[in-house]
Structure 1
Amino acid sequence: MNKHHEIRIEEVCEKSLVSEGYISVRDKYTIHSQPSSKLIDFNPQSALIESVLIEYVKTSQPKAWKAHTNNYPSTSEKALIDRTIQEIKRRGIIDVLRKGITDRGVEFRLIRFTPNTSMNAELTYQYDANTFYVARQLHYSNLNKDLSLDTVLFVNGLPLVTIEFKNEYTGQNYENAITQYKTDRDSREPIFEFKRRTLVHFAVDTTNAYMTTRLEDEATRFLPFNQGSNGAGNVGGSGNPINTNDYDTSYLWNHVLTKDNLLNILNRFVHYQQDINEETGEVEKEYIIFPRYHQLDVVSKIIDDVSENGSGKNYLIEHSAGSGKSNSIAWLAHRLSTLHKNDQKVFNTIIVVTDRKVLDSQLQSTIYQFDHTPGVVVKIDKGKTSKDLLKAINDGKQIIITTIQKFPNIYQDIVQNNRNFAVIVDEAHQSQTGETAKALKQGLANIEETLKYYAELQEIEEEKLKDDLETLEILSQGSHNNLSFFAFTATPKNKTLQLFGVPYEEDGKRKYRPFHVYSMKQAIEEGFILDVLKNYMAYETYFKIAKSVADDPEMEIKSAAKEVLKYQSLHPYNISQKTAIMLDHFSHITKNKIGGKAKAMVVTSSRLSAVRYYYEFAKQISEKQMTGLDILVAFSGVVEDQGTEYTEQGINKTKEGRVISETQLPREFERNFNCLIVAEKYQTGFDEPLLHTMFVDKRLTGVKAVQTLSRLNRIVKGKEDTFILDFVNHVDEIKKSFQPYYEATILENETNPNVMYDIKNQLDNMQIYRTEEIVGFNTIYFSREEKNASKFSNFLRPAIDRYNLLDDIKKSEFKSGVSSFLRVYSFITNVERLLDKKLHEYYNYLKFLRMILPRDNNKIILDDKLILEYYKNEQIFSGSIHLEENQGGVVPIQGGILGKEKKKDKLSRILDDINLAFGTHFSEMDKVLLQFVEDLTKNHELKSFGKNNDIKSFELIYKDYFDNMLIDRIEENNNFFEKLGQDDDFKKVVMDKLLPLVFERIRKDSK
């Protein structure tokens, strides 16, 4: 036999499993098998090895079997098989495996999973009695006796896994195995019946492994079950590392499918999931979820590490979008809740911190399948309060799902009682180094050992410190032996890495890396997300802005420049031109994607910008009589524009005129709309697979850029690509933002705690506060008497009075220093315990002082002093942004006083600098259009009408004056005017472009 034939792979797999305790078996038709293979009586009709199942029950549960034979004296074996088939058909094989079956009051277990402890001898006996079979070339068909499967794995006679092998050396690979499953394996055969027999099917060659949990003939979808090119949990792409001693896919039989690992997967990972229509309550789709390799790996590695080290360590998991993070969190939460060491639970309570509703429901339903005890999972959602969270923690509930915002109100009332807590953090870059995170830690931390050490250090009796609120607050800093954090994120920041990451030494520096990685690169290459940088188009906006007033005031350069750019961004002409470009791209690109179901998002720079874009979109859609484009807008609060107030709910309506609430918007966008205009909403955590196109009119950098643009990367049937049109950001900036998160993120050096003392010294030298004020403030702050603002004010007001005497530069320096100190202190004390009482009092004082520092009211308003003269958009890039294959580094957090002199200049010179930066060589047409504006604004009748009417009324007579102006200039610019006279569509475009410019000039001239 050729050693490269696929039978060779089957044989290697079989021998490996047999060496791990499987029994090699064959049916009466099998040719290829080990000579010692045991003959079995596999029944294709029931798809069971019935005699093996019966033998397991008899051997492992003799008392139950005896009761069963009393119920069925002459048909006990047939009754067991019939009841098993009946229950599997009704409940599914997963539920039967986990809960067993009952027949006339007699309970049977068809499989016994690994016991959590060794304290129950009966469970251990039933576990040891499990029988594992590996069958090669199993003739499975009830219709065609010639059909066989390469390999089938049984546990106690129940078929659970099938494998089809191929070998590249014979000219076939895993794709041929997938084709074989789709075309030659009839899904109606009993052994393939979804959720009732085999749970997973592998298509394997020497280098790749793929899997599916449901055979649907040609519609079957296989997913990669590879480790990653550098091994699971490491930086890399798709595929598997080269194995010089075995097949690259040998991990499947050498590790994944070994007896204990298979039982572990069946017991703690595999689950049944349904998509239910919320309106009808009907099941729209159902799945069997089998873990992908990296999911299996991350949970296993964490559990192994916790089993060895116990509670007290932190773990950072950098898993990209598309990693199946929700399931990974659910599996980890359940495993941690049942984890024992020396027959004692490692954690008493698991707390999952998340803001995602999807994870709430998914976590509950997933864990319920593993542990069907009511109340195991408690969800503290919007309908519940902090008191509900407090009760759940103090009652010792096993798994609690909550938001971190509920902890500040209850942390002092949590009863610690020597309990260990595991905190799983979803999206760990959010809110894990601030006050709310500190409250969580203060409430859960066991500080008994630390208190004893601190009392000895201070030479104070321990009992005297137990009620000292300040001491208790300080001692809760840093890490604690009873508290472990498991932080999941796709985009770890520098703080996240130092707080949760794995420290290591390199080049004389202390660096931090994630505990486990599933990279963006691997997710893209494996097809779980799309590459959002593949189709990227960038525009540059050029403009020239002039003064519309005679005077030339002097003003602070930075603030004035900011207002000039804001004026340009919100200018009706800018918004109308960009809207026209977006609508054109939607019509020609977006609407034809995903079978006509594609959606778009417009990312704007402000709430006012979002409102103006919404109404400009609506206007142009109406004017162009566009169909198939339905828009929504999303922003917070109330926006005022030219005397009118706008709210999200006030604008958004269904086609029937019904108000769309904030909570209804995501569902309405999913079902009935295809363009969403946003301002600081839906840029993170928003999962809409049909989102194909993003129009960006906002500066994006770093994590914010990655999170925002990644809204497009979700996959759905028919979605082959994405499209981004960016009006603001340069391609190099976007590449720089994405690069650290493409493979893995490393913190290049840890933050030096002495930064805090350096900042404090600088602030001390400014002499804004006094030591006695800080001490007096903290005396009240840590007293148990009722606190009010007036008591604090006595110690804060003197500092405010001194602050008000500073010049603008010193004020800026002080504010910057205060913010920097608070940020660094909050972070450092999350990482380590300082035991510096004076510094902690200083922190508390500054925290409250910052709240009442006067705001800078020297706001510059320039709208009535500026006018847009030239404007054009030009495409400068179209193509793919390629990322480098290397680990991205982030720098530690910095601190310091950043106040700078506020330089001033004349408005005219400020405008010259801006126009130089944003200008270009404007065309003759640009100049002709400017002359049109000049001509129209000189017409006295038009000016009079424009001064006294709104733009809609003005537009009614504007057309006539435009035509008259054309007649007056008919002999100039012949080619251009000839086109205007002959092309009505072109003429309308020019008229529409000039309308807002003419109206604005008239209104400003009138002032």
Structure 2
Amino acid sequence: MRTSNLLLFENNEAFHQMLTDGIDVKFSIGDGKTRTDKVWLVDFGAPENNEFLAVNQLTIVENHVNKRPDIVLFVNGLPLVVLEIKNAPNEKADIRAAFNQLQTYKQVIPSLFTYNAFMIVTDGWFAKAGTLSSDYSRFMEWKTADGINIVDTETTPEMEPMLQGLLNKKTLLDVIRHFIVYERAKEQTIKKIAAYHQYYAVNKAIESTIRASAVPAFNSFAEPPAKYGKQDVTEQFPGDKRAGVVWHTQGSGKSLSMVFYAGKLVLAPEMNNPTVVILTDRNDLDQQLYETFTACSQLLRQTPVQAGTRDDLKNLLSVASGGVVFTTIQKFMPEEQGGKYPQLSNRSNVVVIADEAHRSQYDFIDGFAKHMRDALPNASFIGFTGTPIEKEDKNTKSVFGNYIDVYDIQQAVKDGATVRIYYESRLAKIELSEADQEILDARVEEVTEDDELTDKQKRFAKWTSKEAVLGSEKRLKQVALDLIMHFETRIESAEGKGMIVSMSRRTCVELHKQIILLRPDWYDSADDKGVIKVIMTGSASDPLDWQEHIRNKPRRKAIGDRLKDPSDPLKLVIVRDMWLTGFDAPVLHTLYIDKPMNGHNLMQAIARVNRVFGDKPGGLVVDYIGIAQDLKKALAIYTEANGKGKLTFDQSEAVDKMLDLYEIVVQLFGTFDYRKYFALQPREKLNFILEASNYILGLKDEDGVTGKKRFNYHVGRLSQAFGLVGTTEEAKEIRNDLAFFQAIKARFSKFDENKKKKSNEEIETAIRQIINDAIISNEVIDVFDAAGINKPSIEILNDDFLEQIKGMPRKNLALELLKRLLNDELKMRSATNLVQSRKFSEMLADAVKRYQSGLIEAAQVMDELLQLAKDIREADKRGEKLNLRQDELAFYDALADNPTAETILGDDTLKAIAHELVDSVRRNTSIDWQLKESVQAKLRVLVKRILRKYKYPPDDPATGEYNVSVNKVLSQAELLADFWTNQA
């Protein structure tokens, strides 16, 4: 089976569609007639009808590269899952290394991944699953085998629930068909797989929907199907039209869960091709959710449609079956006040999905629920919400029913689905009179732009007086100055973006003015330029100075795309109501609140900064108005609904954690007084960093972990903690020390033979925090100068150079440097001489392993590595003695590696073979030889013909040694062919 596109990801998407939708095949039925039917590669309805096979160490050859993935899972001969397993006791063989290995496989054996559904990385204890396009941070654990009991992965290996839950046959096929989506974004398509909480919640929701629609029990998904731990919804009766509420905390993928739910629901045979209505309470939310569903239309097996008007909605819902329709709840309002909304459909297979289903959003008391029921009397209603239903809210439950599934903040943070949110008050930075402070302290309900004047007259006076205080020129100047200083400090220690919530459109505009007065270079009138923008609606009748900030929907979306792009210079947006719900920008890490907020609106707003993004350690909410009491009240609502975990953590907790980590790093230096560093001159500082590095390298191993690894680990954690609290006084006090620690960490990276495996995010964070002219010179310093030795000009392993290394006073640093130089030298040689590079690489690895195991001392391993360097140099001179060029010597070494060849055939014969091989292979190697199978086959024939001519190897062709020797020469030929074409 072949797919048409040459690109791996597009091939993978095309195959996935064939796998999950079947393949249309046309065939003859006689008399010149044809018929089309579907062929299914997998029987999803009956897992026992399929053949499952797990293959260990399967050798895959592609483009002359041999790779052996640890385990490949086949279903009916299709390699759908790849597992890469590392050895837990090996400190370098962690799951990050397994992830890196998979990235290499994707490059060198891409054909295997054309058929890949998902990948798993594990070291036997930790285990994560992700897709072809997932970066490391999006590989996630699978923490339950049944959707009820969440495994404590601190005491139980993560691989256990992964095997029992995700990789049991029924769940595996269910996930592949219904829980993998290709989401199309502006720049790229992203392949996503459901997290465990999404998978089990959606299946519970499907079961409950079928119950609510009064259809037979649903039993065709993951094992064990008997019970999914549904909560209160199990107490409801069949046919009650209330499917329930899914409460998954904001940022944990609620919108995607809704997509998975709709995608599986439309295929459920019990629902008989249902019509799905997605309901929101605001136009901007409707658009955001609609865009998400449209981007995932392949999973829905249809294109969603948006109802633009009431008439449009009526037409869309008058169909006989099918359809995914988006609308706002306002379109269910009767045209005449007090009137009854006309019936649109009496079908029982209509399902209404309400986003953020709770009373404050849908105003059930005022009758919207009644109008929906009048329009769709037999429809079932299900709610998805990121915030809990309030205890006293009986109306929401009367429409939707009880909870189907709960995924709270505590579990989301523990799983890494979201990050913690920290709270910082900046009230003390803003001066106010007592009278103004009293006005601000008065509790007042929020007035939103969507409210009609008649609805807000009772609270308008209080709101207006508070807005006048918040929007005074004097106060906004203070806020602007403090906010700028805070944000600039923030992005120095933790790269990201910010959102400012202001009380009114007027205060948005005025705050923007004050900010650009202080930072004029942040301003640009063009939508695609500038560091700061205001996002708000308006009309031509608004004041003239507001007009540049009033944009239509496409322009606002374009700015939203800029904000989501980490590389775009747009860093700050000022909003009133927009983008506080439903807007997903993981790069956001700071929310500045200068507006009264409470309840669900506050919970939704602060969640803008809880998304996972790279090495982002957490989000920060900065309070300029005094929302501490409102946060406590919101937490009370949350805990009354049995939610676990805190909405926010006080920044002081993060400060305490940072100081604890700081003490750990300080203790690693023991008797070494690193603080002397700060009194030195720049050139002396560099030398001192090397002294400190040498000290850390000399620390004894603890539980098999080197001092360098412990130091790097703790400095990395300290850097993350510092990124959360970089604006505090405590952080400023240790800033210089941290920069010094990071200078050592950065120095280690220069000597690390595995430096390319470091995460870009970690390196970028270190670089950002290390730049401080008062601490470290910003001059570029060569690594050899830093080590105190002369930089070699041509021959890196000459005697003088090796003597300089041997004479270095810092023995630990000298050892690190020599390891790196030897490793680099052998990597370079591996491009031309297969046997020699393997031999020396094994010698290097063996010496380092014995040293790390404590079998030999530093002085002995240093002597061994110096001798190895001399052996490498002497190996080059062998060519001169044998009268062979380097390419001929490479073939000679491959030929002579056979135990009996030199004895039986003689040295002259081996040299003759080597000379003829170089001449023949070089003449027949074209630039595109790797792309043409005919050229590759010709080269292999030429090599084998020459070997037969000289009766090489002299072993019996039936023995394994014969084949090993021939394949070694073939591999050497391919290696040189690559080298020659790259040099051309």
Q: TM-score, normalised by structure 2?
A: 0.51
The match for 2:305 is: 379
Q: Distance in 2 between matches of 1:663 and 1:438?
A: 31
Q: Distance in 1 between matches of 2:158 and 2:500?
A: 45
* Alpha-carbon distance, 1:300 to partner: 1.6
Q: Distance in 1 between matches of 2:171 and 2:267?
A: 17
Q: Distance in 2 between matches of 1:635 and 1:352?
A: 25
1:202 counterpart = 2:120: yes
Aligned residues of 2:247 and 2:407 also touching (Cα < 8 A): yes
The match for 1:586 is: 487
1:300 counterpart = 2:300: no
The match for 1:260 is: 170
Q: Find the partner of 1:182 among 73, 94, 100.
A: 100
Q: Find the partner of 2:278 among 347, 352, 358.
A: 352
CA RMSD in angstroms comes to 4.7
Q: Find the partner of 1:96 among 2, 13, 18.
A: 18
Equivalent position SS for 2:94: helix
The match for 1:604 is: 502
Deviations 1:183-213 (A, max 9, x none): 3773247765486122211124565430121
The match for 2:180 is: 270
**What amino acid does structure 1 have at the position aligned with 2:476?**
I
* Alpha-carbon distance, 1:427 to partner: 1.7
Aligned residues of 1:214 and 1:220 also touching (Cα < 8 A): no
Aligned residues of 2:87 and 2:94 also touching (Cα < 8 A): no
1:425 counterpart = 2:354: yes
Q: Distance in 2 between matches of 1:732 and 1:576?
A: 26
Aligned residues of 1:295 and 1:328 also touching (Cα < 8 A): yes
Label 1:336 to 1:500 Cα distance change in 2 as closer, same or farther (>3 A). farther
Q: Distance in 2 between matches of 1:536 and 1:207?
A: 41
The match for 1:688 is: 585
* Alpha-carbon distance, 1:592 to partner: 6.4
Label 1:113 to 1:147 Cα distance change in 2 as closer, same or farther (>3 A). same
Label 1:717 to 1:536 Cα distance change in 2 as closer, same or farther (>3 A). farther
Aligned residues of 2:121 and 2:127 also touching (Cα < 8 A): yes
Q: Distance in 2 between matches of 1:624 and 1:190?
A: 45
Aligned residues of 2:598 and 2:634 also touching (Cα < 8 A): yes
The match for 1:214 is: 132
Equivalent position SS for 2:101: helix
1:227 counterpart = 2:143: yes
Q: Distance in 1 between matches of 2:627 and 2:348?
A: 52
Q: Distance in 1 between matches of 2:392 and 2:26?
A: 56
**What amino acid does structure 2 have at the position aligned with 1:491?**
T
Q: Find the partner of 2:511 among 606, 613, 620.
A: 613
Aligned residues of 1:538 and 1:730 also touching (Cα < 8 A): no
Equivalent position SS for 1:681: coil
Label 1:878 to 1:531 Cα distance change in 2 as closer, same or farther (>3 A). closer
Label 1:215 to 1:193 Cα distance change in 2 as closer, same or farther (>3 A). farther
Alignment of structure 1 residues 492-891 onto 2, 5 Å:
492-494=388-390, 498-499=394-395, 514-533=403-422, 537-539=426-428, 541-544=430-433, 567-590=468-491, 593-594=494-495, 598-622=496-520, 630-637=531-538, 645-646=543-544, 648-651=546-549, 665-667=559-561, 673-717=570-614, 719-729=616-626, 731=628, 733-738=630-635, 740-741=637-638, 745=642, 879-880=652-653
The match for 2:374 is: 443
Aligned residues of 1:227 and 1:293 also touching (Cα < 8 A): yes
Q: Find the partner of 1:338 among 260, 267, 270.
A: 267
Q: Distance in 2 between matches of 1:185 and 1:632?
A: 38
The match for 2:818 is: none
* Alpha-carbon distance, 1:240 to partner: 4.6
Q: Distance in 2 between matches of 1:609 and 1:210?
A: 46
1:362 counterpart = 2:292: yes
**What amino acid does structure 2 have at the position aligned with 1:589?**
R
Q: Distance in 2 between matches of 1:706 and 1:198?
A: 39
1:138 counterpart = 2:69: no
The match for 1:250 is: 160
* Alpha-carbon distance, 1:517 to partner: 1.6
Equivalent position SS for 1:96: helix
**What amino acid does structure 1 have at the position aligned with 2:318?**
N
Label 1:292 to 1:496 Cα distance change in 2 as closer, same or farther (>3 A). farther
Equivalent position SS for 2:483: helix
Label 1:498 to 1:436 Cα distance change in 2 as closer, same or farther (>3 A). closer
Equivalent position SS for 1:443: helix
Deviations 1:673-712 (A, max 9, x none): 4322223333222233333333222233322222222222
Q: Give the % identical residues.
A: 21
* Alpha-carbon distance, 1:728 to partner: 1.7
* Alpha-carbon distance, 1:488 to partner: 0.9
1:395 counterpart = 2:168: no
Equivalent position SS for 1:586: helix
Equivalent position SS for 2:296: helix
Q: Distance in 2 between matches of 1:727 and 1:368?
A: 45
Q: Find the partner of 2:73 among 149, 153, 168.
A: 153
**What amino acid does structure 2 have at the position aligned with 1:421?**
V
Q: Distance in 1 between matches of 2:513 and 2:563?
A: 18
Q: Distance in 2 between matches of 1:84 and 1:682?
A: 38
Equivalent position SS for 1:530: coil
Aligned residues of 2:596 and 2:627 also touching (Cα < 8 A): no
Greater relative CO (CA pairs within 8 A, separation 6+): 1
Label 1:742 to 1:178 Cα distance change in 2 as closer, same or farther (>3 A). farther
Paired residues, what number? 577
Label 1:150 to 1:386 Cα distance change in 2 as closer, same or farther (>3 A). same
Q: TM-score, normalised by structure 1?
A: 0.50
Deviations 1:349-379 (A, max 9, x none): 22121334243133234343453xxxx4441
Q: Distance in 2 between matches of 1:624 and 1:195?
A: 45
* Alpha-carbon distance, 1:536 to partner: 5.8
Aligned residues of 2:586 and 2:612 also touching (Cα < 8 A): yes
**What amino acid does structure 2 have at the position aligned with 1:320?**
T
Aligned residues of 1:195 and 1:288 also touching (Cα < 8 A): no
Structure 1 unaligned spans of 5+: 1-79, 116-123, 277-283, 447-481, 504-510, 548-557, 748-876, 884-1007
Structure 2 unaligned spans of 5+: 29-36, 215-238, 437-458, 645-649, 657-984
Aligned residues of 2:243 and 2:380 also touching (Cα < 8 A): yes
* Alpha-carbon distance, 1:313 to partner: 3.1
Alignment of structure 1 residues 73-88 onto 2, 5 Å:
none
Equivalent position SS for 2:387: coil
Aligned residues of 2:422 and 2:618 also touching (Cα < 8 A): no
**What amino acid does structure 2 have at the position aligned with 1:701?**
N
Aligned residues of 1:601 and 1:676 also touching (Cα < 8 A): yes
Aligned residues of 1:347 and 1:419 also touching (Cα < 8 A): no
Label 1:145 to 1:83 Cα distance change in 2 as closer, same or farther (>3 A). closer
* Alpha-carbon distance, 1:489 to partner: 0.9
Equivalent position SS for 2:345: coil
**What amino acid does structure 1 have at the position aligned with 2:128?**
Y
More helix, by proportion? 2
* Alpha-carbon distance, 1:81 to partner: 7.5
**What amino acid does structure 2 have at the position aligned with 1:162?**
V
More strand, by proportion? 1
Label 1:603 to 1:272 Cα distance change in 2 as closer, same or farther (>3 A). closer
The match for 1:975 is: none
The match for 2:223 is: none
* Alpha-carbon distance, 1:491 to partner: 0.8
The match for 2:329 is: 404
Label 1:199 to 1:633 Cα distance change in 2 as closer, same or farther (>3 A). same
Equivalent position SS for 1:197: coil
